[in-house]
Amino acid sequence: MDWNAIWQDVISSTISGVLVIIFGGIIAWFAYITGIKGKEKDQKASERKNEIYIPLKYELKSLIRAPSDIWKELKVTEIEKIVEKNDELVVSDYLWKQCEMLLQLINSYNSIDLYNVVGKILCTQFEKKYIELYGSLTHPMTHWDEISGEEFEYEDYDQEFMDFTSVAYDKKNVDTIFKTDPGCEEYYRELGQIAPTEEFIARMFAMVLPKKEQRYARINLENIDCKLLREKKISPAEYMVRDFDFYEKFKNDKKVEDKQEMLDKIKELSFQIYEDVVQKIRSIGKKYEAE
């Protein structure tokens, strides 16, 4: 019996067995680690879907379905988060650029203050009619300069105009104006009656104009092309709102038109991004979550 041959066979078998065990262990360990990493990757993808893409989808959906009310401010926390914290969230460059473009558009939209637009329209009408009635918005003033020892004259705004500026930009007054349906205004005009909004604006004007015995005192009635005013059958404030179609002025204001156009663009861009985000959510679901 060749013991050397037998011993070599034993050693060879042992080494082979050990190698099989070692390689088997390595393969099992690698499979285990790969499985863990795969699960971690799946979990991470699902977390990103739930934390980033789904909230973004619903926010975009709310923008798409936003009412055509340009008075309402648009708030977009998810879009802001993507634009401002992309170093942490790390979405695609394309999605980031689209969201940045949308956020800039929304910020421009929100920056147009319609209360200021209304205030300017009212002040413009007041100024125009006030000059017709009283000749000027200003009056001469004198001031003594102690340094030069001389007196000089300058023009200062009439108190009525300065007071009306505060009235015109008062948000409560603006809100009251828009409580009336513009269609209702047309109905009253067709009947030859003063419309509710027209009446309210006349009251706003009357708040700052001379009252009682001073109501007509500074007006050269002979130069006014309005028989009712010349005969003092209407007040100066009522004259100032005659043929003043406030809603038409507001609708045709450049800033109002710009804001309406921006809202349309916001909805259009939101829809484009929404479709991309929905596709991303579906892709994550199929790749990492499908059973």
Q: What is the pLDDT of residues 42-64, one digit of tens each?
A: 567 678 888 889 999 999 999 99
Paired tokens of 3: 């013991």
Which of 16-30, 105-119, 192-206, 246-260 is predicted with the least confidence, judged by mean pLDDT?
16-30
Q: Please identify which residue in the block is written with the tokens 């909230």.
A: 55
Task: Identify which of 169, 231, 228, 160 has the alpha carbon closest to the alpha carbon of residue 194.
Answer: 228
Q: Please identify which residue in the block is written with the tokens 């926390």.
A: 77
The confidence score (pLDDT) of residue 108 equals 97
Which of 5-9, 99-103, 273-277 is predicted with the least confidence, judged by mean pLDDT?
5-9
**Residue extents of the structural domains in the chain:** 3-111+256-289, 114-252
Residue 76 CB partners (closer than 8 Å, separation 6+): 59, 63, 102, 103, 106
Dihedrals phi, psi of 141, to nearest 5 degrees? -130, 155
Q: CA separation (Å) from 202 to 205, 241, 248?
A: 5, 6, 17
The confidence score (pLDDT) of residue 222 equals 86
The confidence score (pLDDT) of residue 97 equals 94
CA atoms within 13 A of residue 260's CA, in its CB half-sphere:
9
* Amino acid occupying residue 212: K
